Chain A
């Protein structure tokens, strides 16, 4: 078995073991630690393993079906490794912070989501990419319906809404993927192997207009999963309602699957798809909806959990901007921001979950003065909040600035087109984030504590996973090349194809 297969299967096997009765906490934490270490090992090996290869490293495949050709193929390029690293980090933090009075199903569901996400990121076969994502969605729905916050009517309604939105998005996505498979299988046999599809796409690209149509279908499918405006309305209630580890894993990791899919499947196979005028303009309008409309909606929130949930929807707009621009710098920035946003939002949801447990409320107006009671908690929160605003020195800044620069100077363009206008408008999003985050920070940590709402600093054991995420933000923020260096040739193919198309 290759290491990547073990990485995917380990959380799933750990979930099975917990279901069979092993101690939940020890099993899940040790599986998460083991996975994190293995992935870190692969990250260090990656430069030597990938030399001389254009596509994936650590590849292996097991044929599952001959015709149509489906194989359980795994492989990692820089992007996949970065997202696997993100998954491992967030999983560790998520299962670590589950308090011991919660039932074992919290651990099982978290591990299933982690395993599904890792499978979706590390597989090289469209069938398994899709299947693993579906596998991760089911525990999400169940956990929202079962253990979500609020009364049972509310959480059932939210669970159904999420299920229907994501189910419909997945079906649209499936239609787009099947279309791709039919177009690019070449020869007689249908194949779901991404490498074969890519090779065929490079050999016989589709007419530009057709690329635009398929790209748009994929955009709608993947976009629903990433809460692209106006298909976003499931996301905020789902995250605000979901149990903490589920909110962390879905908003931090699983939601990135849609973006990853666009980057991994849609852009290489349909390099000109995103540049067809009507597709691009539609995408730019939608992402501006994310940044500006959702930004204003976020300002209006009065509860910390729904504020975070809406801000998470808003920040997806930047990443879409990077994908819409399609330049090398913007795409790399998008990947970096995917990582950074995943870490920062997971950190913030973990902290909010802790506050909910200790204070019993997340109403911003009822909070205040926590800074004096819980100084360490405040510092860690500040890391998450400032990262999510985009403060230089923290990881999100590097991603955002690369996206803005890469989009504004798309292919050395000197004219001031729709893309440039979008960048100008999107920059205001940074101001909006600053407004709501700083206001929330002031409300919660400064001033004086309202009667009855006190909390202590987390114990040392609980600080560890939180500090791990905060440290990741700081390290990547100061040394973004650690991650950027992993993406050598992966994105170039798509970007170059676009240049030649201009």
Chain B
């Protein structure tokens, strides 16, 4: 069986579920959740056994898809985050249905499948047109998802903001693609690298195209100065969708950025210095503009939004570090590693938020006050998640940051390193402020929280993942290192 059949299968399932409510009006969201989750789980199993040989792809797909292990990794990543988001949606369903028309939720279980297909196809893209089409598939689905809780004015505001800025960034992206195509005559990544390695290629138009392309993608990954939409949208969107935006959409943006930057920074590229400084300046700005405002947030959801911005900054800085002789991991590998560590800690913190919300709380920092007394387990896993987001040693977050910092030191990017260190220090302050409040604060309601078995199991599993990745990251690294060797090979 070949990989592309998974995408086709998921698309069919997504479309069927979209229509399910029309033909079977009595269908419950439990059934929908079970169907979509089992579909994604099946796809994950299928991916594990699928042939990863590019030659196994049909001839008409081969020009558009490459199956290096980075592509396979991101396809798996997309399936895992989709599965988690679907599960989170099912958990939140009772409270979400209050905000939708007639309590219907079917799109919340079918659109993530479409987003997932988009991300999977994007992960293996070989040219900018495929990238553009899949990116739009993802973004348009998100327009619907963000505004899904229609009866909440915050959600509508978030939806409108995301729609307008998303459309604008799409325009910028297409404009950038056009300039790059005009200057290099190529749309495939290989073609663009070949043109850039040729000193005869005109520099100014290609640079303009590259800058516009990076700006367009910067919007998707919430990089400064295109990050203004993030806190409002994250706050307004339903929690599962916020999780999906924070992890899935960011990963989608970064897989494209990895491919694009790999092409731009090909050896002897005529625009190496400029692209690198763009990434460094953008990354430094992003870590600072993500961390500094986070200090003053009183809503944990907004705090996580700013934290998500700042993590995008570290990832941009990682991209600026080209692979060197000192590491097994290429910059793309470091980004993938970082995202793999970012997934469990972000999902876990949103899971805790979701549980509190379902139990009638809010996302204000006051709702976390004294959490340790109401539910020691939730407080403990949230502590782990926040410590990992802060980058404390022995948690997954530290390993990701370690690679980024070592990369920056190795390339002697001292300015960016200083910004990253400042941001990390500030990060310690606001994450630990939240932890301290959970333990020392006075509880707003003395009622102990009781969790259902699934929530407990998921929270513990994600917490364990954080610890295991922090203490024993070797398997993940070797998975990604083969990919680095592969990239170096071609």
Contacts and interface: CB of A to CB of B under 8 A. Distances in A.
A152 B440 CA distance: 9
Interface stretch (A61-69, A374-382, A400-408, A427-435): A61-69
Interface stretch (B163-171, B194-202, B255-263, B321-329): B321-329
Contact of B329 (A63, A67, A130, A132): A67
Interface string A160-193: 0001000110010001001000100000111000
A463 interface: no
A36 B184 CA distance: 71
B471 A63 contact: no
B392 interface: yes
Nearest to A192: B402
Interface string A137-163: 010011001100000100010010001
Interface stretch (B100-108, B154-162, B473-481): B473-481
A335 to B, nearest CB: 26
A85 B85 CA distance: 49
B473 A64 contact: yes
Contacts of A152: 440
Nearest to B417: A175
Contact of B481 (A67, A141, A146): A67
Contact of A182 (B393, B398, B409, B425): B409
Contacts, number: 68
A289 B417 CA distance: 34
A19 B328 CA distance: 39
Contacts of B435: 142
Contact of B473 (A65, A145, A167): A65
With most chain B CB atoms within 10 A of its CB, the pick from A68, A72, A159 is A68
Nearest to B424: A171
A19 to B, nearest CB: 7
Interface in A211-239: none
Contacts of A142: 435-436, 439
B468 to A, nearest CB: 11
A131 B393 contact: yes
Contacts of A163: 432
Given A64-B471, A67-B481, A146 B425 contact: no
Contacts of B144: none
Given A142-B436, A145-B436, A188-B326, A65 B406 contact: no
Nearest to B471: A64
Nearest to B376: A19
B45 to A, nearest CB: 29
Interface in B389-428: 392-394, 398-399, 402, 405-406, 409-410, 421, 425, 428
B26 to A, nearest CB: 44
B61 to A, nearest CB: 35
A130 B393 contact: yes
Nearest to B421: A171
How many of chain A's residues touch chain B, expressed as a range? 20 to 34
A189 to B, nearest CB: 7
B380 interface: yes
Contacts of A168: 425
A173 to B, nearest CB: 12
Given A65-B477, A145-B436, A167 B425 contact: yes
B49 interface: no
Nearest to A72: B471
Nearest to B436: A145
A64 B474 contact: yes
A135 interface: yes
B477 A66 contact: yes
A190 B402 CA distance: 12
A447 to B, nearest CB: 40
B469 to A, nearest CB: 11
Contacts of A59: none
Contacts of A64: 471-474
A399 B409 CA distance: 41
Given A135-B393, A171-B425, A182-B409, A145 B328 contact: no
Nearest to B472: A64
Nearest to A163: B432
Given A65-B477, A66-B477, A68-B406, A189 B326 contact: yes
A127 interface: yes
Given A19-B380, A178-B406, A66 B326 contact: no
Given A131-B393, A182-B409, A66 B471 contact: no
Contact of A68 (B325, B327, B428): B327
A134 interface: yes
Nearest to A190: B326
A145 B441 CA distance: 10
Given A64-B472, A66-B481, A171-B425, A145 B394 contact: no
Nearest to A145: B440
Contacts of B327: 67-68, 190
Contacts of B477: 65-67
Nearest to A168: B425
Nearest to B476: A65
Contacts of B398: 131
A19 B376 CA distance: 9
Contact of B393 (A67, A134, A145): A134
Nearest to A146: B440
A163 B410 CA distance: 30
B201 to A, nearest CB: 33
Interface string A42-77: 000000000000000000000111111000100000
Contact of B394 (A65, A135, A159, A182): A135
Interface in B447-489: 471-474, 477-478, 481
A295 B392 CA distance: 36
Interface in A366-398: none
Contacts of B328: 66-67
A132 B376 CA distance: 23
A103 to B, nearest CB: 10
A188 B421 contact: no
Interface in A123-137: 127, 130-132, 134-135
Closest 8 CB pairs of A and B: A131-B393, A67-B328, A131-B394, A134-B393, A65-B474, A188-B325, A146-B440, A145-B440
Given A65-B473, A145-B440, A146-B439, 10 more contacts: A64-B474, A65-B474, A66-B474, A66-B481, A67-B329, A67-B477, A68-B402, A72-B471, A145-B439, A188-B325
28 contacts: A19-B376, A19-B380, A64-B471, A65-B399, A65-B474, A66-B474, A66-B477, A66-B481, A67-B329, A68-B402, A72-B471, A127-B393, A131-B393, A132-B394, A134-B392, A138-B387, A138-B392, A141-B432, A142-B436, A142-B439, A145-B440, A146-B440, A152-B440, A163-B432, A168-B425, A182-B410, A190-B326, A190-B406
Interface of A: 19, 63-68, 72, 127, 130-132, 134-135, 138, 141-142, 145-146, 152, 156, 159, 163, 167-168, 171, 175, 178, 182, 188-190
Interface of B: 325-329, 376, 380, 387, 392-394, 398-399, 402, 405-406, 409-410, 421, 425, 428, 432, 435-436, 439-440, 471-474, 477-478, 481
